[in-house]
Amino acid sequence: MKIKFWGVRGSIPCPGASTMKYGGNTTCIEVRTDDNELIVLDAGSGIFQLAQTLFPEMPMTTNLFITHTHWDHIQGLPFFIPNFIANNTLNIHGAYDPIGQQDIQEILSVQMSYCYFPVRESELKAKLIYTTLQERDSVQIGSATVSNILMNHPALNFGYRIDCGGRSIFFTGDHEPLYNIYSPEDEDYEEYEQFMAEKNQAITDFMRGVDVLIADTSYTLKEYPAKKGWGHSTFDANIKMARAAQVKKIYFTHHEPTRSDAELEQVFQEALERNPRKSGDPDTFLAQEGAVIEL
């Protein structure tokens, strides 16, 4: 497999001189299987740059897996150029929204309405196929198997695991480590503690042993208390998670948009110093727009 990062910032695009090294686009990850099938994880603003590279392959099929439909993970989809060209196919996979009671097609069609975009979905030339996923569903994309597990985020968010040719990756989407919403004196405290332990173990087991873990790492330990409940993780929590799951490499992504490249490198280094490398620990990296990983 081959992985390429096209967007690694969180929440909002932040182009500019201070984000040129790691990039200012929001989440989009290209995965190529051993047989060169195209899998795309999320459609943040980075998907527009990905689209520029695809002309030589058209007509083509793209397999898009949406972790969740917060704006920074879907905002680039209307600008995905293959959708405007005949004989292309876009297979879109995502979760049902239990709050709004909408499937993935109903959710995404909103941003293609005239209120938000001048071209309606019915005017696109490509064929769009929607698949609404349930937790633990598996989808076969040629030589690869894409499976999912529910993570912890204010919107229903799937983490995706891709297995292909004996290699594997896991992308968390947006994820915050579970914490107890009850006080110790509440009668439901112990029951929720048990739920947390079981859920954390399920997530750890699902990603266990992957070659590459790509993890939402928005905050530092100092920043996290003010952002608790927003649905994002810290460097320290993800290092702990990667160790527990015995992954080989971890790439920290969804970088805080107000953080410059220099500041990002500084907080990354501070996290590594707080968590000295032990035998068997994964290699750790900052996800960088344009970087390629070959497995």
pLDDT of residue 36: 96
Q: What's the half-sphere exposure (Cβ side, CA atoms, 13 Å) at 119?
A: 12
Task: Please say whether the beta carbons of 28 and 40 come within 8 A.
Answer: yes
pLDDT 10s digits, 216-274: 999 999 999 999 999 999 999 999 999 999 999 999 999 999 999 999 999 999 999 99
- pLDDT of 99 strictly over 90: no
Q: Which residues contact 262 (CB under 8 A, 6 or more apart)?
A: 18
**pLDDT above 90: residue 172:** yes
Indicate the burial class of 70 (C-beta count within 10 angstroms; 0-12, 13-18, 19 or more).
buried
Which domains does the chain show, CATH number per domain?
2-294 (3.60.15.10)
Question: Would the CA dihedral through 153, 29, 217, 168 be positive or negative?
Answer: positive
Cα–Cα distance for residue pair 97/134, rounded to 1 Å = 11
Cis check: omega of the bond before 59, within 30 degrees of 0: yes
Mean pLDDT, the chain, rounded, equals 96
pLDDT at 113: 87
Specify which residues 286 forms β-bridges with.
252
pLDDT over 90 at 148, yes or no: yes
**What's residue 184's pLDDT?**
92
Answer yes or no: is pLDDT of 4 > 90.
yes
pLDDT more than 70, % of the chain:
100
pLDDT at 100 (0 to 100): 85
Helices 261-274 and 235-245, axial angle in degrees (round to 10) = 50
Element (H, E) at 159: strand 158-164
pLDDT tens, position by position, 32-83: 999 999 999 999 999 999 999 999 999 999 999 999 999 999 999 999 999 9
> Residue 80 and residue 90: Cα distance in Å, rounded?
10
**Considering the chain, what percentage of its residues have pLDDT values greater than 90?**
94
